[in-house]
Homo-oligomer: A and B are copies of this chain.
Amino acid sequence: MAQRGRRTARVSGDERQDAILITAEALIGERAFDDISIEELATGAGISRPTFYFYFSSKDDVLLALLDRVITEVEHRVGDLPRDFASDPVGAWTRSIGMFVEVFVAHRGVATAAIAARARNDEVRALWSKSMQSWVDFSSDVIRSEQARGAAPEGIDAHDLAVSLNLMNERVITAVLNQESPAIAESGALDVLSTIWIRSIYGSVNPGRR
């Protein structure tokens, strides 16, 4: 939120700022963020390179602004997520994971760029963490309440489980979208992920001995 980008601002020039963001989002969709120069962003927005610095302090700052929007959307959507897990756990989890996938796909470019940038940029890392945290909080709350009502077995820390499963989602979806190898087919992803979530949240299996 608030004051990402521009320094003091008040009247016009907002359009320029937007133009940079729009250019960035467009380019990010077709090319790696690292391969986009500030020159290109500036030209795309109809300004010179030094002028770019009037609006943003760096290329990463642009990414941050883009990420901000995504975070806002994530927090909205997570907040609106239904919590009717008692009546239809499988469906409810699948819908939640489906929403995670949707957000990722919708902001594919920003997500990919942010994941790459978080290794070197603290602010990007913090912001990304914040959005992952929304999902983790949501899932660990639900897991805990499923454990409390006896539907899911205790014996595993709800938070750790939620973190691991959400990180799995992040990684698997990234692999699918980037057509990595090894990866899985996009069509089957939601299914596999849901199954893993369900089994590891509700299952208490002791194969063989132990």
Q: Complex Cα distance A209/B86, Å?
A: 10
Tell me, yes or no, whether A145 is within 8 Å of chain B by CB: no
Q: Are A152 and B207 in contact, with the CB atoms below 8 A?
A: yes
Q: In whole Å, how far is A83's beta carbon from the nearest beta carbon of chain B?
A: 14
Q: How many copies does the complex hold?
A: 2
**Contacts A32-B119, A196-B200 given; does A207 touch B151 at CB 8 Å:** yes
Tell me, yes or no, whether A193 is within 8 Å of chain B by CB: yes
Residues of chain B within 8 A of A164, CB atoms compared: 168, 172, 184, 192-193, 196
**Which residues does A use to contact B, with CB under 8 Å?**
32, 34-35, 86-91, 112, 115-116, 119-120, 125, 129, 132-133, 136, 151-152, 156-157, 159-161, 163-168, 170-172, 175, 180-185, 188, 192-193, 195-196, 198-200, 202-210
